[in-house]
Structures are given as C-alpha cells and as structure tokens.
Structure 1
C-alpha cells in the first residue's frame, strides 16, 4: 500500500499495489458482498428497485451498475444532478464540490424518486463523512430501508464527520463493504512525500461487477428470472432491452 515510501513510481509499482488491494478485497470482503447480494436479490424478487448513489469519483460505482449490457434492469441511479434535472436547483451548484457538503442536497434527493417498501440502497463514498451523503443515508434509514455502503474504513475512521450530527456513512449501514484503500486514496509515494495514483474508482467498478454476478447467482439458485440487459448491438438486443425498460419505467430513470 502507499505506506511503503521506498517504492519507486512506475507502471509496475502501481500494478502491484492495485493487485494487492484486489487480493485483500477478495480475502476480506467476499462475505460482505455475498450478504449484500442476498439483500439485493430479495429486493428484485419482491418487485423492489435497487437505488445506487455516488458523488465525485464514486459516481463510477453507481454508473457501473445501471443500464448497461450484462447489468440488471431494476437498478436506479440517484445523483446530485437529479436536483437540477427534476427540481429547481442550479446545475452549477449540483455539479460543484460544495454540493456534497450541502446538508439540504442530501435531504432532498429521495423526493425526486419513487421509493417503495422493498427498495434497497447502495451508496459508495471513499471518506463517508460529507454532510450531504450522510444526510441522504439518514433519510434512507428513517424510511427503514436496507442500506449497503462501499467505503474505505481506513479513510473514514481517520477523518472527522462533516455532518452536524457527527455520524459517518458506515455507521448507518446494514452492510459495509470496505474497499481496502488507504486514507487519502493514493497508492505511491514520491521522494517529496507527496502521494499519487488512486484505486477507489477501479475497486468500486470491480465491486459493482462482483455484486452483479452474485445477485444473479442468488436469483438463479432460487429459480427466479434474471432481468439483465444485453448489448443493443446484437441481434434482438434493442427489443429485449426496451421490454425490460418498459417493465421498470415507473420506478427507474434510465438516464445517461
């Protein structure tokens, strides 16, 4: 990890650090991912929708799960930009770094989506301390939904909460998946002690696909339908995907 200050900075060094994190993830987080998959599969089985969210670079995790070949149809991506797309918030503000520190942004997010009792929520946040993300999680738990969180336990435990209530995201979760990255989300140290290269986006995308595969595994083991998209660019793909979109269109916003 990035604690090894004697490492040279190179493609090979970065590769080895990334491999190390992935091996740690598989060794330590398989059970949590399997538990999360059970919850998500039950949600789909009972007609619920999985709502996924990430701000900043954690948006990569949220986007990886939605509206793509091999992905499951009943997954809805929640984003700060929804406040401008479906509400009257300024696009400039919702795209700014300040938005994730804005308590009212987190409080407002759920009001722009149709939420039902069986729904499950996935949130990715490297630090898990910003006010908007924590407030969003609090709103979810007040409605008694299951909450799965992907975060860096190293990072969040070393960082003070920015929410006025003092909570951190992982403390509100029913299931926590630790992405095993460092505090600060860097991999390699320069001689000047500055840190470079990051892993959380790559690990987030990896976790998304591991979770996706395990949800399908659970659904198949129960003899349930797997509502998965295929590529639009194969024979019959467009028709199949439109059929799935129509099934969930009242619950899922299929945006880009």
Structure 2
C-alpha cells in the first residue's frame, strides 16, 4: 500500500510538470503585484487552508501574500460539538459570506488572488473568486480538475470556481481525492490533493523568488538559523514580518472611508 501511494505521488509530479507554462504565468502575475507594493490574496476553506499556510508564513517563504483564513470555515479539529466539522461544511456553502470577508479589505486591480478548492464546487470559494474578479483582481484557481469536472456545484446556477478564474491549476489528484484501493475495503484511502497542491504552491514560490530577485527586489525569506546563522535568521524574520505588516496596512488604509461617521 505504501508503494502504491508513493507511485501515485510520482504521477502527481508529472501532472504538475506539464503545467509549467501556467505556473510561470501565475508567478509573473504574483511578481507584478508584489513589485507594485500590493499583496497576493490567498484563500482556501476546509482543508484547502493547508495550501494557504504552505504559501506564507513558513520556512522558505516570503512576504507579499495575504493569507485569508476564516476559522469558522477551517477550524474543525474538534470534529463534533462546538466548532465542529458539520458547521464548517455548512458555512462553506452560505452565499454572501465571501462578500462579507472581502469587505474588510481595500482591493486594487494591482492585486492578484489564489483561490484554492479541490472540488471547486463549494459556494464560498466560488464567490470569493467572483468577488475578486468584480474588483478587477486576476484570479488563479487551484482545483483538482478531474474531481471538479465530475462534481456538482453547490451554487444554484451551477457555476464552479473554474468559471471565475483567469488561470486554472490542477493538483492532479483523482476523483474523490483518495488514491489507494485496499483489498477488502470498498472505499479508497490516502488523498493526493495536498501533495499536488504543495508541489504547485512551492513551484510558484520558487519561480516567483527568481523573478523578484532578478527585478532587483530579492525577497526576505524566512530562513532557519541552522542555515543562515541565528543572528541573520532573526533579522530576516523581523524584516519579513515588518514588510508583511506594512503591505497589509495598505489594505486597511482606505476601508470604509465613505461610511465613516464624522463628529
């Protein structure tokens, strides 16, 4: 079973490699945003949150990304009871929530967005992409294409995340995500979208770092002390967090000015 899963993962690498042109395009759009002093908005609900955190902040990553993670949609470790999985899955299909989330930010056409949803069929990720596009923000969708194509959208009009994407990337996982069939077990196990998604995220990250460096703005990469030395690593962490704060401040500076109550 281990060999079977690892072989399926090798196939995911091939699928990602076939998307090199699309990955380069995504990296170029993201580079344009970051070089303009703006941010790439990254959103995922459910377990797609994993991909948001894979992008930033973690070792080997750098500022320029706005990780949008709603706890009500992603915190389901308790499984049942308060803050359980049933509620998260319900909220993931509540129309209008995406608009409320994005009401917090002053978006710009210089921004770009990465919206992650393996099925591409849940309402909130779809509406997030739709709302971004309404504001002139280019959207990169990260889906599992085969699974999405064979799934039914939760939206009443049947539209999926891919219908609101300027660029579509595919994790390469199979329908249903799970990749290993165990003899005697009637349902497969061991999902693949996380592996394929992480390959895509980090491929973009590597290409993006090259583009920023060649443009004369090398990124401040979160780096382990064992690699850069304790002092340098601390400098990089502080500088990266400060840059993130300054970029994020721009997203809040003009929010709601037209609605401010003046005394």
What TM-score range do you get, normalising by the shorter chain?
0.7 to 0.9
Cα distance in 1 for partners of 2:55, 2:129 equals 19
Partner of 1:215: 208
Unaligned 5+ runs, structure 1: 1-9, 85-89
Partner of 1:243: 239
CA RMSD of aligned residues (A): 2.4
When normalised by structure 2's length, the TM-score is 0.82
- The verdict on how the C-alpha distance between 1:232 and 1:201 changes in structure 2, with shifts beyond 3 A counting, is same
Partner of 1:105: 97
Partner of 1:138: 130
1:114 Cα deviation (Å)? 4.2
Cα distance in 1 for partners of 2:109, 2:188 equals 44
1:251 Cα deviation (Å)? 3.7
When normalised by structure 1's length, the TM-score is 0.84
Task: Determine if the alignment matches structure 1 residue 69 to structure 2 residue 62.
Answer: no
Partner of 1:87: none
Q: CA contact under 8 A between 2:8 and 2:179: conserved in structure 1?
A: yes
SS in 1 for 2:136: coil
1:25 Cα deviation (Å)? 1.8
Partner of 2:39: 49
Q: Which has the higher contact order (CA 8 A, sep 6+)?
A: 1
1:94 Cα deviation (Å)? 10
Q: CA contact under 8 A between 1:17 and 1:187: conserved in structure 2?
A: yes
1:81 Cα deviation (Å)? 2.2
Q: CA contact under 8 A between 2:43 and 2:116: conserved in structure 1?
A: yes
Unaligned 5+ runs, structure 2: 75-81, 250-263
Cα distance in 2 for partners of 1:30, 1:202 equals 17
**Residues 205-254 of structure 1, C-alpha deviations (whole Å, 9 max, x = no match):** 2211111000011222333332323236732322332223223314439x
1:174 Cα deviation (Å)? 0.8
Q: CA contact under 8 A between 1:80 and 1:95: conserved in structure 2?
A: no
1:37 is matched with which residue: 7, 17, 27?
Answer: 27
Cα distance in 2 for partners of 1:42, 1:133 equals 24
Task: Determine if the alignment matches structure 1 residue 182 to structure 2 residue 178.
Answer: no
Q: CA contact under 8 A between 1:216 and 1:226: conserved in structure 2?
A: yes
Cα distance in 2 for partners of 1:13, 1:93 equals 29
Partner of 1:13: 4
Partner of 2:197: 204
SS in 2 for 1:13: helix
1:103 Cα deviation (Å)? 1.3
Partner of 2:256: none
Task: Determine if the alignment matches structure 1 residue 194 to structure 2 residue 187.
Answer: yes
1:157 is matched with which residue: 149, 160, 163?
Answer: 149
